């Protein structure tokens, strides 16, 4: 409310295990009526990072020029070594994402910088709720 004021609506969709193509295809239908004052947040691509994720996200953003888009980068995999091939691919993907999204005025990127403590014991999936 601090940044948005008192008059706003939040709608969320979660698609566990889905690739970014499924996420963006579904979102295209859901956000087709959003305008410049609206914001859509997309967080995905971990499942297909080495394939076509960047292509699908770029296509989605291109179609959303009339809406503000927040993209969350892909977090490090804590179930793997920081120098693993998967984590190197995550770093490479995030660099490409930041470079490619510079051309879109309506896009902002969120650097997730997540800590190990936010993930389940195995280190791959995020915890559902923070425990105190």
pLDDT at 84: 94
Give me the tens of pLDDT residue by residue for the chain, a chain 132 residues long. Answer: 666 677 877 878 788 888 888 888 888 888 888 898 889 999 888 888 878 899 999 999 999 999 999 999 998 888 888 899 999 999 999 999 999 999 999 999 999 888 888 777 777 777 776 555
**109 alpha carbon, distance to own chain's centre:** 8
pLDDT at 79: 86
pLDDT at 1: 60
Q: Which two tokens stand for residue 113?
A: 């910088």
Pick from 27, 21, 95, 100: which is nearest to 67 by CA? 27
Number of H helices, E strands in the chain: 3, 3
């Amino acid at each position: 409310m601090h940044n948005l004021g008192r008059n706003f609506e939040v709608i969320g969709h979660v698609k566990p295990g889905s690739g970014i193509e499924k996420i963006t295809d579904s979102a295209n239908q859901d956000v087709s009526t959003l305008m410049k004052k609206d914001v859509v947040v997309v967080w995905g691509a971990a499942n297909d990072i080495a394939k076509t994720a960047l292509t699908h996200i770029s296509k989605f953003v291109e179609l959303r020029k009339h809406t503000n888009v927040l993209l969350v980068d892909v977090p490090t995999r804590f179930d793997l070594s920081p120098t693993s091939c998967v984590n190197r691919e995550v770093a490479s993907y995030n660099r490409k994402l930041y470079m490619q999204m510079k051309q879109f005025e309506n896009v902002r990127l969120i650097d997730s910088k997540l800590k190990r403590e936010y993930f389940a014991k195995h280190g791959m999936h995020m915890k559902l709720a923070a425990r105190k």
